[in-house]
Amino acid sequence: MKQTLGDLAFYGGPAAFTEPLFVGRPNIGDRKLLFERLEQALDRRWLTNQGPLVLEFEQRVAELAGARHCVAMCNATLALQIAARAMGMTGEVIMPSFTFVASPHALSWIGVTPVFCDIDPETHLMDPAHVESLIGPATTGIMGVHLWGQPCAPGTLPALARRHRLPLLYDAAHAVATRWHGRPVATLGDASVFSFHATKFVNAFEGGALVTDDDGLAATARAMRNFGQTGEDQVTYLGTNAKMSEASAAMGLTSLEAMPELLARNLANHRRYATELAGVPGVRVLPYTSGNNHQYVVMEIDERVTGVSRDLLRAVLTTENIRCRSYFAPGCHMMDTYRGSPRLPHTEAVSRRVLGLPTGTAVRDDEVIRVCEIIRFVVAHGPAIAAKVTNGSAARTSARPPAPTPR
Ligand code: T4K
């Protein structure tokens, strides 16, 4: 328990945690089952190219998503590229700036210009009214993002896309197994892309998938992920290599089986953070609608109220071995690659306030309680800590957090 400012590791006190607490520590699942599956793949000598584990994984994901088709891929970034190309997106596609940079990069990489729209600061999700105002002659599609697993304008965006006859692709990287009013979020829009990266709710080491009800789109995507081949000696599309390996599918299947345990831990951690930080002035834990997988716990800190900025809080927490992430700062439209894009006031304000907190099966309840104790302590002494940094006194480290290092 920190009693004085000198107890903070930032000022030379002992760190609260001897081992780092990370955002995005992978959930492992049943190792025995994973190794059994890997043994089977080795015995079969079938390691990639639509092997039996990938086919089983696709079937399970399609069921989970409530979709007719699942096309498994080696990551979500390539799945987004393939989806956008297969859906005929060219010219400009409207999408939020407040997302991981993979989302706009996937479009840019196939020569499509992302046109960034702003978000609702309450939910962090794209603002459909702004989307509509950005539709122009070069617009060929809309890419919604189910950020933090939250359904992105589910009541308005699909109708808006239909009205303008634009294909609607969802980046559902965060939304594996999430539901909206009881229905899988992947049933919204024309197609959705999941991520099964190591840091995601369900992980396949690396992995992604396109899910859709559209038979033609699924067939095109299947060919495109395999060099555009539609037969042994037939190439129909400009394709790439985006295939999922059997090793990834083995991990993905094992992870899918562990979902109830993962969800319970995520939910408990999210609730604990919300309870422990409730009523702290200038601090808000982003609430979710029911059906979220709770893979991310996102806190906002308002410097005008607390006197301490997000970056300073993050630096203080880092010295305590609490490795938070400023997901997603800055907005993509502020990154060098997209410089020159119009300013987006809500995205810019929110991206200065957000902090992703450690959660997942690697983070215990008592650890969440200690993290919250330190956050409350820092906020209670916000102006004093900020003043010390401004005066250049006492702080043992710089305010810039170090890059996370693997354990
Ligand atoms: N769309 C959205 C909205 C996304 O968020 C993402 C990816 C994508 C599309 C694209 O999906 P993929 O193509 O990746 O399937 C990480 C992930 O690499 C990335 O998948 C994820 N979003 C993004 C939000 O987070 P970084 O650059 O922040 O990763 P890194 O290495 O800094 O690790 C993140 C945290 O996880 C750290 O706290 C360390 C911890 N970690 C990471 C790994 C890999 C572990 O504890 N163990 C591990 O094995 O991007």
Whole-model pTM? 0.95
Query: Taking Cα atoms as reference points, which of 373, 401, 378 lies closest to residue 388?
Result: 378
**Predicted pLDDT of residue 232:** 92
CA–centroid distance, residue 197 to ligand 1 (Å): 7
CA–centroid distance, residue 74 to ligand 1 (Å): 14
Q: Give the position, in ligand 1's atom list, of the atom nearest the Cα of 358.
A: 38
Asked if ipTM goes beyond 0.90, one says: yes
Amino acid (1-letter code) at residue 116: F
CA–centroid distance, residue 102 to ligand 1 (Å): 10
Residue from 82, 101, 108, 199 to probe ligand 1 pocket by mutation (most atoms less than 8 Å from CB): 199
Query: Taking Cα atoms as reference points, which of 80, 240, 93, 82 lies closest to residue 161?
Result: 93
Q: Which of 3.30.565.10, 3.30.1330.200, 3.40.50.1820, 3.40.640.10 is the CATH number of 31-257? A: 3.40.640.10
Residue nearest to atom 49 of ligand 1 (CA): 198
Q: Give the position, in ligand 1's atom list, of the atom nearest the Cα of 23.
A: 38
**Predicted pLDDT of residue 397:** 43
Give ranges for CATH 3.40.640.10 in the chain. Answer: 31-257
DSSP per position, 292-309:
-----EEEEE-HHHHSS-
Q: Give the position, in ligand 1's atom list, of the atom nearest the Cα of 147.
A: 3
Mean pLDDT by 10-residue block, N- to C-terminus, for the chain (407 residues)?
93 95 94 98 98 98 98 98 98 98 98 98 97 98 98 96 98 97 94 98 98 98 98 96 98 98 97 97 96 97 96 97 96 95 96 97 97 97 88 52 47
Residue from 100, 178, 332, 371 to probe ligand 1 pocket by mutation (most atoms less than 8 Å from CB): 100
Give ranges for CATH 3.90.1150.10 in the chain. Answer: 5-18+259-323+358-390
CA–centroid distance, residue 100 to ligand 1 (Å): 9
Residue from 17, 25, 197 to probe ligand 1 pocket by mutation (most atoms less than 8 Å from CB): 197
CA 3 to chain centre: 36
CATH fold of the domain at 5-18+259-323+358-390? Aspartate Aminotransferase, domain 1 (3.90.1150)
**Predicted pLDDT of residue 392:** 66
Q: For 74-111, how does the pLDDT look when each residue is reduced to its tens digit (9 = 90+)?
A: 999 999 999 999 999 999 999 999 999 999 999 999 99
**Predicted pLDDT of residue 3:** 92
Q: Give the position, in ligand 1's atom list, of the atom nearest the Cα of 196.
A: 15
**Predicted pLDDT of residue 393:** 56
Q: Three-state DSSP class for 234? A: strand
Helix or strand (DSSP H, E) at 219: helix 215-224
pLDDT averaged over every residue in the chain: 95
Q: For 183-215, how does the pLDDT look when each residue is reduced to its tens digit (9 = 90+)?
A: 999 999 999 999 999 999 999 999 999 999 999
Q: How many Cβ atoms sit within 10 Å of the Cβ of residue 86?
A: 26
32 is catalytic: no
CA 230 to chain centre: 32
